[in-house]
């Protein structure tokens, strides 16, 4: 959700903190701030983007500091609500991600004890609690303060005159970056990748004391060792590489993402995970859980698993799954999450574990919380996805889902070979869609004039209608709804007019004829129709007002080409409307609160 950075070393902290905040801005960006310590603590924060903060910021000289980009939960975006927050003396500064559930009670208690609060945030209780418990050891005071807190947190604490940073996590990610005579604390790898690729992932309950030359992790009062990991992404992968936006770069990376993800698994001597394991364990049906775009991948997964393996599959929203009674007997579960930190998805994994469901997680971010709590993890190899709108991670999720189905030990060799061939052709098919960018941007110019748009699809492309609508609404702020094509006449027809274009995803499979009928019905109600259709489809040209052509592929793989066209359509529409594409309003990259 929000982004955290901490620096301690021999260099001036300020430029490093600001650099990191720029890279973290995708995690939350309604306000930001830094605190730097020398003999006292200097804080500067505001309800602005990092670029504006940099322009207004005075020069701080200290070599220890913390910074934060915020995505508001408690209290509107404002200067006082921005982080860092500090205690009454101004000597203790804290940045925090997560939510403190009992903050109202703690706040009242602290006010009764004489503390003065200036913000509406839950975070502000933390520096006051540390102040209350401080008796000469910052880490002991932090530990005591956290003992009072119920909720989730990743925090970093700075205290005037103390040559150290103290950090802690519970249900919110935090890493330590290990440098040469300097160390870093961050909520996410891209923040520190320019300085080091050596990281330690903190675990829930860890409190760490970081100096320029050392770090000590303790958990439950005992000192523990945490394994060091090497990040394999390069800094270039976490930068724009000449593209105007991360989103466009990430869309264009998709042929490579397919190759990398396939290469990672197809070359393995043994399949990474055999879905048959679930069946052999007495599992008779499957459940796929996820949120947002990952949920749309889950829906595609349902189609391909049911179609090819004939196993009953339910795909559900993790946020809903957590709140109703479930029949989970003899069920195997897959969860899909790019970040591995989505609160609803993590909660779902915990619930699955409680009832003894074998849980396989498909995750992009290595070392994320989901990978540590699921029974087994398969990593998508999409690399860092910076733009808030998920694009290449969705593609990589699809590749893993296809591969899971293909590597099922009950799939016969001929079928496996033919599917593998199809999948291996997908990078060049996706490239053909990318090469059609000019035509798609032309359609986007037309679409950008409207305020309401429907997306329709059938069968395996129904989830693509949902995803196309999600992409368009989140980055262009056009109201868009995805529907199963057959459902439009059960209500939404009332909204059709010349002002509501319909984007129809047309596939050459058993849904084709029904789709043409739906398009005719829509045209009869006066709505302009933009069709996404395979090469050589002449019938659709006669019907639709505009056609975006995609290469013909086996229908089972059609989501992989259709999604690229839909992503580009959303991107160019948002660009036409001059929107903040990589950091859309009110959103954040990973949603670590329920």
128 CB-near residues (< 8 Å, 6+ apart): 87, 88, 110, 115, 117
Q: Which CB atom, from 478 or from 591, has the smaller least distance to ligand F6R?
A: 591
| Cα gap 33→177, rounded to integer Å | 21
Q: Which CB atom, from 189 or from 591, has the smaller least distance to ligand F6R?
A: 591
CB of 138 to ligand F6R, least distance (A): 33
CB of 372 to ligand F6R, least distance (A): 15
Q: Which CB atom, from 28 or from 292, has the smaller least distance to ligand F6R?
A: 292
Q: Which of residues 454-473 bind ligand F6R (CB under 6 A)?
A: 470
CB of 165 to ligand F6R, least distance (A): 27
The DSSP secondary structure of 108-145, one letter per residue, reads HHHHHTT----SS-STTHHHHHHHHH-SS-HHHHHHHH
The 321-360 site mask, x for binding ligand F6R (CB under 6 A), equals ----------------xxx--x--x---------------
Q: Which CB atom, from 133 or from 394, has the smaller least distance to ligand F6R?
A: 394
CA separation, residue 256 to residues 6, 194, 416, 440 (Å): 33, 23, 22, 21
Q: Which CB atom, from 212 or from 292, has the smaller least distance to ligand F6R?
A: 292
CB of 242 to ligand F6R, least distance (A): 23
**What region does 390 belong to: left with phi over 0, alpha with psi -120 to 50, or beta?**
beta
> Which residue shows structure tokens 């996410």?
188
Q: Which of residues 54-113 bind ligand F6R (CB under 6 A)?
A: none
Q: Which CB atom, from 537 or from 582, has the smaller least distance to ligand F6R?
A: 582
Backbone angles phi, psi at 535, to 5 degrees: -50, 145
| Cα gap 171→190, rounded to integer Å | 20
* Cα atoms in the 13 Å half-sphere on the side-chain side of 352: 29
User: 2 catalytic, yes or no?
Assistant: yes
Q: Which of residues 470-499 bind ligand F6R (CB under 6 A)?
A: 470, 474
The 297-326 site mask, x for binding ligand F6R (CB under 6 A), equals ------------------------------
| Cα gap 380→402, rounded to integer Å | 12
Classified as helix, coil or strand, 148 is helix
| Cα gap 467→473, rounded to integer Å | 10
CB of 249 to ligand F6R, least distance (A): 15
Residue nearest to ligand F6R (CB): 292
The 275-294 site mask, x for binding ligand F6R (CB under 6 A), equals ----------------xxxx
Q: Which CB atom, from 30 or from 474, has the smaller least distance to ligand F6R?
A: 474
| Cα gap 513→245, rounded to integer Å | 39
User: 330 catalytic, yes or no?
Assistant: no
CA separation, residue 96 to residues 122, 123, 126, 481, 573 (Å): 9, 6, 9, 35, 35
| Cα gap 385→365, rounded to integer Å | 9
Residue from the set 66, 352, 360, 389 that interacts with ligand F6R by CB under 6 A: 389
For 435, which DSSP code?
A: H
Question: Looking at 429, 471, 575, 589, which residue is catalytic?
Answer: 589
Host H or E run for residue 219:
strand 215-219
Structure tokens at 516: 């043409």
Q: What is the separation of C-alpha 288 from the centre of its chain, rounded to a whole number of angstroms?
A: 17
Asked if 254 interacts with ligand F6R (CB under 6 A), we say: no
Question: Looking at 2, 32, 357, 579, which residue is catalytic?
Answer: 2
Q: Which CB atom, from 125 or from 318, has the smaller least distance to ligand F6R?
A: 318
| Cα gap 497→516, rounded to integer Å | 19
Asked if 165 and 184 count as a contact pair (C-beta separation under 8 A), the reply is no
Asked if 421 and 554 count as a contact pair (C-beta separation under 8 A), the reply is no
CB of 389 to ligand F6R, least distance (A): 4
Give the total of residues touching ligand F6R (CB under 6 A): 15
| Cα gap 154→207, rounded to integer Å | 10
Q: Which CB atom, from 63 or from 397, has the smaller least distance to ligand F6R?
A: 397
CB of 368 to ligand F6R, least distance (A): 9
CB of 461 to ligand F6R, least distance (A): 18
Asked if 390 interacts with ligand F6R (CB under 6 A), we say: yes
Q: What is the separation of C-alpha 493 from the centre of its chain, rounded to a whole number of angstroms?
A: 33
CB of 315 to ligand F6R, least distance (A): 14
Q: Which CB atom, from 69 or from 338, has the smaller least distance to ligand F6R?
A: 338
Asked if 37 interacts with ligand F6R (CB under 6 A), we say: no
CB of 291 to ligand F6R, least distance (A): 4
For 495, which DSSP code?
A: G
Backbone angles phi, psi at 549, to 5 degrees: -90, 135
> Which residue shows structure tokens 């364990």?
281
| Cα gap 212→63, rounded to integer Å | 10
* Residues within the interface to ligand F6R (CB under 6 A): 291-294, 337-339, 342, 345, 389-390, 470, 474, 590-591
List, by residue number, the catalytic residues: 2, 589
């Amino acid at each position: 959700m929000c982004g955290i950075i901490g620096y301690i070393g021999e260099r001036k902290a300020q430029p490093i903190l600001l650099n990191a905040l720029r890279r973290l801005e995708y995690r939350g960006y309604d306000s930001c701030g830094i605190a730097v310590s020398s003999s006292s603590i200097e804080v500067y924060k505001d309800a602005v983007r990092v670029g504006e903060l940099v322009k207004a910021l005075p020069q701080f000289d200290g070599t220890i500091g913390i910074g934060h980009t915020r995505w508001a939960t408690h209290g509107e975006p404002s200067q006082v609500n921005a982080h860092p927050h500090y205690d009454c003396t101004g000597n203790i500064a804290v940045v925090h991600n997560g939510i403190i559930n009992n903050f109202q009670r703690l706040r009242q208690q602290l006010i009764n004890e004489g503390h003065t609060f200036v913000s509406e945030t839950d975070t502000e209780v933390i520096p006051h609690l540390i102040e209350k418990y401080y008796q000469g050891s910052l880490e002991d005071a932090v530990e005591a303060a956290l003992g009072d807190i119920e909720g989730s947190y990743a925090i970093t604490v700075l205290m005037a005159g103390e040559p150290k940073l103290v950090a802690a996590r519970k249900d919110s990610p935090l890493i330590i970056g290990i440098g040469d005579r300097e160390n870093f604390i961050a909520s996410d790898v891209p923040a520190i990748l320019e300085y080091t690729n050596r990281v330690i992932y903190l675990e829930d309950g860890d409190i760490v004391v970081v100096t320029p030359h050392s770090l000590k992790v303790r958990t439950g009062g005992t000192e523990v060792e945490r394994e060091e990991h090497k990040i394999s992404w390069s800094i270039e992968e976490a930068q724009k590489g000449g593209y105007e936006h991360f989103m466009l770069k990430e869309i264009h990376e998709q042929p490579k993402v397919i190759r990398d993800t396939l290469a990672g698994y197809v070359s393995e001597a043994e399949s990474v995970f055999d879905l048959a394991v679930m069946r052999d364990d007495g599992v008779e049906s499957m459940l796929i859980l996820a949120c947002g775009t990952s949920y749309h991948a889950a829906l595609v997964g349902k189609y391909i698993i049911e179609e090819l393996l004939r196993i009953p599959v339910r795909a559900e929203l993790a946020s809903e799954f957590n709140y109703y009674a479930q029949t989970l007997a003899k069920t195997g579960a897959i969860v899909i999450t790019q970040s591995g930190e989505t609160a609803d998805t993590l909660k779902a994994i915990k619930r699955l574990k409680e009832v003894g469901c074998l849980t396989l997680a498909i995750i992009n971010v290595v070392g994320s919380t989901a990978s540590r709590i699921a029974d087994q993890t398969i990593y998508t190899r999409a690399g860092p996805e910076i733009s808030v709108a998920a694009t290449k991670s969705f593609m990589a999720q699809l590749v893993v889902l296809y591969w899971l189905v293909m590597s099922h030990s009950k799939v016969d060799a001929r079928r496996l070979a033919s599917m593998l061939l199809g999948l291996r052709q997908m990078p060049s098919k996706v490239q053909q869609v990318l090469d059609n960018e000019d035509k798609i941007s032309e359609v986007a110019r037309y679409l950008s004039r409207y305020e309401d748009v429907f997306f329709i699809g059938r069968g395996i492309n129904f989830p693509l209608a949902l995803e196309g609508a999600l992409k368009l609404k989140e980055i262009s702020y056009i109201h868009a709804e995805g529907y199963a094509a057959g459902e439009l006449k059960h209500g939404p027809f009332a909204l059709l007019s010349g002002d509501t274009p319909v984007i129809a995803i047309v596939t050459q499979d058993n849904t084709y004829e029904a789709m043409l009928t739906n398009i005719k019905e829509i045209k009869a109600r006066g709505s302009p129709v933009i069709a996404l259709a395979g090469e050589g489809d002449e019938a659709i040209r006669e019907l639709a007002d505009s056609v975006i052509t995609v290469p013909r592929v086996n229908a089972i793989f059609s989501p992989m080409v259709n999604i690229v066209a839909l992503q580009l359509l959303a991107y160019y529409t948002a660009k036409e409307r001059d929107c903040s594409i990589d950091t859309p309003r009110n959103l954040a990259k990973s949603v670590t609160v329920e």
